[in-house]
Structure 1
Amino acid sequence: MPVKMMIHAIELRHIRYFVAAAEHGSFRKAGAAIGVHQSAFGRRIRDLEHHLGAALFHRHNGGVSLTFAGQRFLRRARKILRSIGDGMLDVAAIGRSEHGHVRIGIYSSIASGFLAELLRRYVDQYPNIQIDLIDDNPAEHVSRIRQLRLEAAFVTGEREWPDCERMSLWWERVFVVLPEDHRLAGRDEVEWRQLAREKFIVNEAPPGQEVHDYLVQRLAAFGYHPEIQVQHVGRENLLPLVALNRGLTVVSEAMTAARFPGILYRPIAGEVLPFCALWSARNDNPALLQLIELGRSMAKSSVPPPPSSIEASAELSQSRGQLQ
């Protein structure tokens, strides 16, 4: 029999019966231990010997003993069973999300807020799951999700993305970042019209372009095209530039947990950003499913946005504006 046909003909039970017979030294005792009648047990052993083309046992009145071929095969048979057993335990652990790997795209700060709490609870519940966080713009996240290179992404807005599942999760207020000696520093909140003549700064990297477009769109209503300078620095260095009076910038609420000398955060009246989760229905990673369920559970108990912000949120979701 060709080797491929021989391998396909051998079933896992053949190997399990063989190891049991070798350990018990008797077909009758091995069959009783497994719960198989002696005659059926013996037939399976003969089938295995036929497929292998070699006798595995010497039969005698006292039971059975291994032939030379049987002794050679026993070590490998035990290794096969151990490997399959370990594999089954591993897969079962993945199914329970005890182990695994999940890649998450983010477009918001994880310094505080809903996303930070979601990740904290997820790590607490599934400490053995490896989490990779990828910071990029929504279009790149969606591309990776479609290619199953990313399990989920958390982005701003409420638009539908083709080939992606979407679930609204939370909202954040929008804050302007001011130098501590700015003329608006004494206010509890500011309005867009008060920012119309200000100079702004944004990052070159995401979400810099989206912040730029967001500012242009919001301030155009007051007849001004804002002066916006692109800074070739990372997020962690953009806010200190505000303290140096290089310009103002805007961030979402989660980012306000980051404290830098010389700056203040002030909410912009009526501005709120909705955030949602995106993922592919084709992705059956159990770690992803657990993350989505946890997010859904948290969203049900989260505080809704203030009534004055709902209209602004709906309008903003239609624009290109998306923040840190």
Structure 2
Amino acid sequence: MMSPSASKIVLQYLRYVLAAAEKRSFRQAAIELGVWESTISRGVRDLEDQIGVALFIRNHGGVTLTNAGSKFLTHARWAVGRIEYALKDAGAAGRGEVGIVRIGIFSSLASGFLADLLQAYQFENPLVHIDVTEGSPMEHVAAVQHHRIDVAFLKGEPIAYGCDAAHFWEERVFVVLPHNHRLAEREDIVWDGLRDEHFIVSETNPGPGDPRLSHEEFG
């Protein structure tokens, strides 16, 4: 089996052959690739030794392909093109420009900043399919840890061992009050102002149309 270093050398040699065939000169090929002429000459010679056939006829005016070299060139162009495409494709996938991105969200974050963010990302990366899953923070953290989703957008600072976390944005919390409540006329209310007030909150993680409510006191 060919080692990675040997594979890299062969790929470079193929590029030498392509450049030399195009320029019909080792010197011009060296200028094109930014290497020494001796590097091109030695690389092509090593490749010829490996395959056991001459690819070029050397003369004072430059180089010309042999019959075997012409046949080899067709395959070399295809091979280099496929390898370069594979490298670009893998790089694009690694940067999230193609493929699928699995995202976990908390239902109460499904609009506003996050919706705009995902829409902008989709616009810039039309080849990416976005797969969104709703759930609780604990479920999403476990899913990220076990590689079932790629990223999760959660509220607060959840404990997520083995995961990278970043603070993206902040949102205001809105409180619904009776019109005659002592705080109703205030434009902004801080948490301390709500101390000892009674709330109606969901018994479970908030979601659309969730009827399960309970009374709690903020203390």
**Structure 1: how far apart are the matches of 2:119 and 2:30?**
51
The amino acid that maps onto 1:16 is R
Greater RCO (Cα-Cα under 8 Å, separation 6 or more): 1
1:322 aligns with 2:205: yes
**Structure 2: how far apart are the matches of 1:107 and 1:190?**
33
**Structure 2: how far apart are the matches of 1:36 and 1:310?**
72
Partner of 2:159: 160
The question of whether the paired residues in 1 share the 8 Å contact of 2:13 and 2:43 is answered with yes
Are residues 25 and 190 of structure 1, via their aligned partners in 2, closer, same or farther at CA, if it must alter by over 3 Å? farther
The question of whether the paired residues in 2 share the 8 Å contact of 1:108 and 1:155 is answered with no
**Structure 2: how far apart are the matches of 1:154 and 1:50?**
57
Determine helix, strand or coil for the equivalent of 1:55: coil
TM-score, structure 1 as length reference:
0.47
TM-score, structure 2 as length reference:
0.66
1:306 aligns with 2:189: yes
Instruction: Tell me whether 60-69 or 35-44 shows the greater mean CA deviation.
Output: 60-69
**Structure 2: how far apart are the matches of 1:311 and 1:81?**
67
Deviations 1:139-179 (A, max 9, x none): 3322220022312222345442333344554354477xxxx
The amino acid that maps onto 1:39 is S
Are residues 89 and 7 of structure 1, via their aligned partners in 2, closer, same or farther at CA, if it must alter by over 3 Å? closer
The question of whether the paired residues in 1 share the 8 Å contact of 2:136 and 2:205 is answered with no
**Structure 2: how far apart are the matches of 1:104 and 1:189?**
40
Structure with the larger strand share: 1
Deviations 1:204-245 (A, max 9, x none): xxxxxxxxxxxxxxxxxxxxxxxxxxxxxxxxxxxxxxxxxx
Are residues 149 and 76 of structure 1, via their aligned partners in 2, closer, same or farther at CA, if it must alter by over 3 Å? farther
Q: How does 1:263-282 map to 2 (within 5 A)?
A: none
**Structure 1: how far apart are the matches of 2:2 and 2:204?**
60
Partner of 1:132: 131
Q: How many residues align?
A: 193
Unmatched 5+ stretches in structure 1: 176-186, 192-268, 270-304
The question of whether the paired residues in 2 share the 8 Å contact of 1:156 and 1:322 is answered with no
**Identity, % of aligned positions:** 38
Using the TM superposition, give the Cα deviation of residue 66 of structure 1 relative to its aligned residue in structure 2, in angstroms: 2.6
Determine helix, strand or coil for the equivalent of 2:148: coil
Determine helix, strand or coil for the equivalent of 2:35: coil
1:4 aligns with 2:32: no
Q: How does 1:1-324 map to 2 (within 5 A)?
A: 4=2, 8=6, 10-90=9-89, 93=92, 98-99=97-98, 101-109=100-108, 112-167=111-166, 169=169, 170-173=171-174, 188=178, 306-308=189-191, 321-324=204-207
The question of whether the paired residues in 1 share the 8 Å contact of 2:93 and 2:99 is answered with yes
Let me know the Cα RMSD of the aligned residues: 3.9
Are residues 135 and 125 of structure 1, via their aligned partners in 2, closer, same or farther at CA, if it must alter by over 3 Å? same
Unmatched 5+ stretches in structure 2: 208-219
**Structure 2: how far apart are the matches of 1:310 and 1:106?**
30
